[in-house]
């Protein structure tokens, strides 16, 4: 077995205790919050003590927290994320229905942000125009600091209400009976605005990281040597500067991809995108412990997997890295 394969196996196994620790932290934080979920489950403003106790026994809320956590771990290893109090169905089914839409949105936005942010940084870094650099730097700070829900509302006002180019909500037209490529086009049409909103917020990250990396690589001794011996500037920039400058962007891509799944909730809610955003909001406000823990578990796994995939990609794009 190669050293790279052993590294991947070791890193994959390290995800397990990391996720278990995250589950424990989320479990205690959620359960130590004030209030009694049994009262919310009852649906009554002032349920009787008997009703509350019966619900606590039914859902295991009367047991010590440590025992509840142990039972939850047992259910997870059996592939069971529990039962949703507010939806009256399994958490597995609820998340399975919505995780695909969230992944489609976040992956699309991350890919676009990586491509555009890196491209803009490369063009600005190559031209070395102070005015152009200042303009894009200011724009990057503006979009990075902009609240996602506010930008989403601006997108709806501009592209939907004013120019009527894109739909305001949903993932597809529920009244249409599209099939094949027509259905795919309809989904892409609905995806454009929420994807653009997320991408505009993430582009500044890739731009700033890649731009700084280009400046740093340009100052390396081997670049100075290549310039001194007369190699064409375009060849130096394309073959040596760019290949090394985009590496930090790959790391950021992995982190952004993972955290975007958690951070896309507000955008999903504004655009009524059928992802996990609304599901998480309902679970928070209605104290659905099992649903909230299930969502956090899936998000933790996605973040860890995204980081692992980043390390794998690094092995192919940077041969200098050795996995011990």
The predicted-structure confidence for 193-225, as pLDDT tens digits, reads as follows 999 999 999 999 999 999 999 888 888 888 888
pLDDT digits (tens, 9 = 90+) for 153-200: 999 999 999 999 999 999 998 887 778 889 899 999 999 999 999 999
Domain hosting residue 28, numbered range: 3-91
Domain count, the chain: 2
Q: Which of 67, 91, 115 is the last residue of a domain?
A: 91
Let me know whether 117 and 222 are in one domain: yes
Let me know whether 170 and 282 are in one domain: yes
Q: Which of 91, 111, 130 is the last residue of a domain?
A: 91
Query: How far is the C-alpha of 280 from the C-alpha of 94, rounded, in Å?
Result: 11
Q: Which of 91, 120, 151 is the last residue of a domain?
A: 91
Let me know whether 313 and 213 are in one domain: yes
Torsion, Cα of 142, 146, 150, 152 (10° steps): 80
Query: How far is the C-alpha of 23 from the C-alpha of 47, rounded, in Å?
Result: 31
pLDDT digits (tens, 9 = 90+) for 305-314: 888 888 777 7
Let me know whether 19 and 120 are in one domain: no
Let me know whether 314 and 224 are in one domain: yes
Let me know whether 108 and 79 are in one domain: no
Let me know whether 119 and 16 are in one domain: no
pLDDT digits (tens, 9 = 90+) for 131-140: 888 899 999 9
Asked if 87 and 276 touch (Cβ cutoff 8 Å), the reply is: no
**pTM score, whole prediction:** 0.88
Let me know whether 104 and 127 are in one domain: yes
Phi, psi angles (nearest 5°) of residue 178: -70, 150
Let me know whether 166 and 289 are in one domain: yes
Let me know whether 79 and 200 are in one domain: no
Let me know whether 233 and 305 are in one domain: yes
Query: How far is the C-alpha of 121 from the C-alpha of 119, rounded, in Å?
Result: 5
């Amino acid at each position: 077995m190669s050293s790279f394969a052993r590294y991947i196996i070791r890193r994959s196994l390290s995800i397990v205790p990391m996720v278990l620790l995250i589950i424990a932290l989320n479990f205690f934080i959620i359960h130590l919050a004030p209030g009694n979920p049994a009262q919310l489950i009852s649906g009554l403003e002032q349920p009787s003590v008997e009703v509350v106790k019966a619900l606590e026994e039914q859902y295991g809320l009367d047991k010590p927290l440590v025992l509840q956590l142990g039972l939850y771990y047992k259910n997870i290893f059996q592939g069971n994320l529990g039962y949703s109090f507010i939806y009256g169905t399994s958490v597995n089914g609820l998340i399975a229905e919505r995780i695909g839409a969230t992944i489609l949105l976040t992956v699309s936005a991350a890919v676009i942000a990586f491509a555009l942010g890196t491209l803009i940084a490369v063009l600005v870094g190559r031209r070395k125009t102070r005015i152009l650099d200042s303009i894009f730097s200011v724009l990057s700070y503006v979009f990075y600091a902009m609240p996602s829900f506010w930008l989403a509302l601006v997108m709806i006002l501009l592209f939907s209400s004013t120019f009527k180019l894109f739909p305001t909500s949903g993932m597809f037209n529920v009244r249409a009976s599209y099939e094949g490529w027509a259905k795919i086009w309809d989904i892409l049409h609905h995806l454009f605005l929420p994807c653009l909103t997320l991408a505009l917020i993430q582009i500044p990250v890739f731009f700033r990281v890649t731009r700084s990396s280009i400046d740093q690589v340009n100052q390396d001794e081997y670049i100075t040597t290549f310039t001194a011996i007369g190699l064409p500037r375009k060849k130096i920039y394309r073959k040596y500067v760019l290949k090394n400058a985009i590496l930090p962007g790959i790391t950021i891509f992995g982190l952004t991809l993972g955290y975007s799944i958690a951070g896309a909730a507000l955008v999903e809610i504004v655009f009524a995108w059928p992802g996990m955003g609304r599901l998480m909001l309902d679970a928070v406000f209605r104290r659905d412990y099992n649903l909230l823990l299930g969502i956090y578990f899936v998000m933790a796994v996605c973040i860890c997997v995204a980081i692992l995939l980043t390390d794998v990609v690094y092995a192919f794009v940077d041969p200098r890295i050795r996995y011990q």
